[in-house]
Structure 1
Amino acid sequence: MSPTTSFPKSDIRVLLLEGVAPTAVESFRNAGYSNIQLYDKSLPADLLQQEIAQAHIVGIRSRTQLTAEVLSHARRLMAIGAFCIGTNQIDLDAAELAGIPVFNAPYSNTRSVAELVVAEAIMLMRGIPQKSAQCHRGGWSKSAAGSHEVRGKTLGIVGYGHIGTQVGVIAEALGMQVIFHDIETKLALGNARMALGLDDLLERSDIVTLHVPETPATQGMFGAAQVTKMKPGAHLINASRGTVVDIESLAGALASGAIGGAAIDVFPVEPQGNADPFVSPLIGLDNVILTPHIGGSTLEAQENIGLEVAAKLIRYSDNGSTLSAVNFPEVTLPEHTGSTRLLHIHRNVPGVLSQVNDVFSRLGVNIDGQFLRTHPKVGYVVIDVTATQEQAAQVREELARIAGTLRTRVLY
């Protein structure tokens, strides 16, 4: 990766894929970025490599795969924006070792997911999936059998984070009793109560909803053993990650009636595009609501995500701040009006900072302020100086020669 220096915003090429929200485009333009390339869909591998080779900032959603191979072509790339919640589609280690911070929007679709989950809880408790399926086949089953209000019922939330807490607050407003389980001790909102453990939650809940991240610990965490622990006829909702639930075990329990119903928005294997077929053992089961990974897919959520991620990318490009980067040392920086700012991204090995400071000492450039943060693999140092453009350019050239340097930039 070649070091870069600062240049006019009109020369900074912003590549936005997969129909990123117009709020993001507007944010970049309002900030002075006019060289914006837009695509409504993800790109084929060969075209993606061509486009990313020319880009300084790239924004994607969930379908574009930024692998180590793709990133090896991104020699100008300064930052990546994931205009979504997850970052599994990006090789975070490869990006970090290339000196490229990755930003996402971990909270902007929280409300959209929570609303879908609560709506599905009501539908499941009323037996709507089965009744809808019967009507579509010309049947008619006007009966109260198996149909219940959610008021007074117990909702068990597995994973009491930003989405889980929102689900709990909305559910309580409907009169539900809320219990939750999390691997960390969490402050309960409203009248929610922590369960004694996962088994306790499963045994007590009329509806179980999953809101855990995708980690090695959560992969397949909800299988046959957990299904067996659930109350007879209880319902399961998964709007977290597809790898969390053993779909085969769930399908068997739904077919046998051990579980009353389920609403599944995420799957272990999902189609790459809207034209590809969806295959799942849950297809054809009347007591299941199937949705195509649209928990956060509302116009409001996409607008908020566009604003949040664009703001992070612009702040990094303009200022060097890396607050909330998912793969990079986090540095919150003040404005540098009246100063020239130099950014030095390097492998986290001993002696780099002393070599950085030695460059300024040898060239007689006084340091106004210095900020340093490190990750296990990468270090990020930001230096504000009072210097001419010629002096700053000379300093940057010297910094780039330091062994282990990944990238350098100058912000005037």
Structure 2
Amino acid sequence: MTRIVLFENIHPSAKEVFTSAGLTDVVTHASSLPPDALRDALAGAELVGIRSRTHLDATVLAGAPDLRAIGCFCIGTNQVDLEAAMLRGVPVFNAPFSNTRSVAEMVLGEAILLLRRIPEKNDRVHQGHWDKTADGAFEARGKTLGIIGYGNIGSQVGTLAEAAGMRVIFHDVEAKLPLGNARACSSLKKLLSQADIVTLHVPGGNATRNIMDATTIGSMKRGAILINASRGTVVDIDALHAALKSGHLSGAALDVFPSEPKSVDEPLISPLIGMRNVILTPHIGGSTQESQENIGREVAEKLLRFMLSGTTKGAVNFPEIPYQETAGVARILHVHRNLPGAMGTLSNLMAEHGLNIVSQQLQTRGQIGYVISDVEGKVDDTVLSVLRAHPITVRCDMVAE
């Protein structure tokens, strides 16, 4: 029976997907686990689901030889060594769409709150002050929102902002089709010089590290607002702090940070703590009941489709093969080293054991190739052992019809 282990309080919708399909050996953990406990929990697991706090590096993956696929029940996959997983024949799936609306709504809400100086006004009322002045408070209508990274979330933010009467401009390293009346900016500098609010929706990595530093923040309009709900490494926090202290920026909202607390009771360490014109949230952009339910279902369904048919459509680290109905008696899933003659070797091995190939799908990515073969004939443990033992094989499994 397929053993499935889910960490970090993944929404029950994920377990419902598995159990409805007859995969009932599902173990859940309410949080991430320390290394030794994690290793023990992964013993015998074929499918693993994690969120952002569970880290699956090469060492952890090597200690889980039964692992067939990983589901990241979130957008990011930085917590998994994707290359190591690929080289072990393990596809990694995520949820790039399910929390889009939740993040977009939060970003627009923060923009409006900061334009109206609500965080500061709220704090002053709690401190016993009744400050009704309109100084520095503005409507969202007519303001320019600059979106850096016009992907799933960035484009949705733009759609919501337009509904609030804002002008939307965006900059992306790739050409993107504008939604509504949004307009592309040819350069980041041009966007920063025009935007009243700048919101970041870019991936992590070296290419985006500190893209908002002292220079780029200095290029923003005086009195502008900066919002980051993407990755903590894309903003130079010290440069942001200096711009807020000097009054160059009127406010900021951050949901992600370069270094984040590991537990509920660990405080965030940041020079932004205590600033009245800054909204700090604990990485909750996608944390709504609706998004978590959708994420649970989306990723679980991807894992289930892989187990039942071998499809890897949507995998972030693996050759992608879309769903196709089984054409033979059995389906063999073969991951091999991407070397000349690999397909010929595989076909010859199958022929030597009396298997007739009815249909094949092949894709390669980097050092590996992945082929789904529908065959007629008897596929027993002997055949699988021969395929697995060949030097070109990384991993070999079977899906019975």
Return the TM-score normalized by structure 1: 0.95
**Distance (whole Å) between structure 2 residues aligned to residue 168 and residue 30 of structure 1:** 38
Q: Aligned residue for 2:289?
A: 299
Q: Aligned residue for 2:127?
A: 137
Q: Aligned residue for 2:166?
A: 176
Amino acid of the structure 2 residue aligned with 1:200: K
Alpha-carbon distance, 1:159 to partner: 0.7
Q: Aligned residue for 2:398?
A: 410
Q: Aligned residue for 2:389?
A: 401
**Alpha carbon RMSD of aligned pairs, Å?**
1.1
Which of 163, 174, 178 is 1:188 aligned to? 178
Alpha-carbon distance, 1:259 to partner: 0.3
Distance 1:196 1:334, change over 3 A: closer
Structure 1 residue 113 corresponds to structure 2 residue 103: yes
Structure 1 residue 355 corresponds to structure 2 residue 368: no
Contact 2:48–2:70 (CA under 8 A) maintained in structure 1 = yes
After the TM superposition, which of the residue ranges 147-156 and 126-135 deviates more from structure 2? 126-135
Q: Aligned residue for 2:51?
A: 61
Structure 1 residue 266 corresponds to structure 2 residue 256: yes
1:224-373 matches, within 5 Å, as 224-336=214-326, 339-373=329-363
Amino acid of the structure 1 residue aligned with 2:397: R
Amino acid of the structure 1 residue aligned with 2:365: H
Q: Aligned residue for 1:94?
A: 84
Alpha-carbon distance, 1:73 to partner: 0.8
Deviations 1:343-388 (A, max 9, x none): 1112222222111111122223211111111111111111111123
Amino acid of the structure 2 residue aligned with 1:22: P
Q: Secondary structure in 2 aligned to 1:122?
A: helix
Contact 2:8–2:51 (CA under 8 A) maintained in structure 1 = yes
Which of 177, 184, 199 is 2:189 aligned to? 199
Percent same amino acid among aligned pairs?
54
Q: Secondary structure in 1 aligned to 2:304?
A: helix
Contact 1:153–1:176 (CA under 8 A) maintained in structure 2 = yes
Deviations 1:264-302 (A, max 9, x none): 111000011212121101001111011011001111000
After the TM superposition, which of the residue ranges 352-361 and 27-36 deviates more from structure 2? 352-361
Contact 1:340–1:392 (CA under 8 A) maintained in structure 2 = no
**Distance (whole Å) between structure 2 residues aligned to residue 338 and residue 181 of structure 1:** 49
Flag structure 2 segments of 5+ consecutive residues without an equivalent.
none
**Distance (whole Å) between structure 1 residues aligned to residue 189 and residue 349 of structure 2:** 60
**Distance (whole Å) between structure 1 residues aligned to residue 8 and residue 172 of structure 2:** 34
Q: Secondary structure in 2 aligned to 1:303?
A: helix
Deviations 1:80-110 (A, max 9, x none): 0000000000111111111111100011100
**Distance (whole Å) between structure 2 residues aligned to residue 411 and residue 164 of structure 1:** 39
Distance 1:404 1:275, change over 3 A: farther
Q: Secondary structure in 2 aligned to 1:237?
A: strand
Q: Secondary structure in 2 aligned to 1:260?
A: strand
Alpha-carbon distance, 1:337 to partner: 6.1
Deviations 1:128-183 (A, max 9, x none): 11112222222221111111110011111111111111001110011111111111
After the TM superposition, which of the residue ranges 217-226 and 343-352 deviates more from structure 2? 343-352
Structure 1 residue 75 corresponds to structure 2 residue 65: yes
Return the TM-score normalized by structure 2: 0.98
Q: Secondary structure in 2 aligned to 1:236?
A: strand
**Distance (whole Å) between structure 2 residues aligned to residue 349 and residue 51 of structure 1:** 35
Contact 1:352–1:402 (CA under 8 A) maintained in structure 2 = no
Contact 1:81–1:310 (CA under 8 A) maintained in structure 2 = yes
**Distance (whole Å) between structure 1 residues aligned to residue 134 and residue 289 of structure 2:** 36
Q: Aligned residue for 1:7?
A: none
Q: Secondary structure in 2 aligned to 1:382?
A: strand
**Distance (whole Å) between structure 1 residues aligned to residue 265 and residue 65 of structure 2:** 33
Flag structure 1 segments of 5+ consecutive residues without an equivalent.
1-10
Contact 1:368–1:385 (CA under 8 A) maintained in structure 2 = yes
Contact 2:142–2:165 (CA under 8 A) maintained in structure 1 = yes
State the structure with bigger RCO (CA 8 A, min sep 6), 1 or 2. Answer: 1
Deviations 1:42-88 (A, max 9, x none): 11110100111221111000000111111111011111000000000
Q: Aligned residue for 1:3?
A: none
Q: Aligned residue for 2:21?
A: 31
**Distance (whole Å) between structure 2 residues aligned to residue 405 and residue 254 of structure 1:** 56
Amino acid of the structure 2 residue aligned with 1:60: I
**Distance (whole Å) between structure 2 residues aligned to residue 92 and residue 393 of structure 1:** 30
Structure 1 residue 377 corresponds to structure 2 residue 389: no
Contact 2:327–2:375 (CA under 8 A) maintained in structure 1 = no
Q: Aligned residue for 1:159?
A: 149
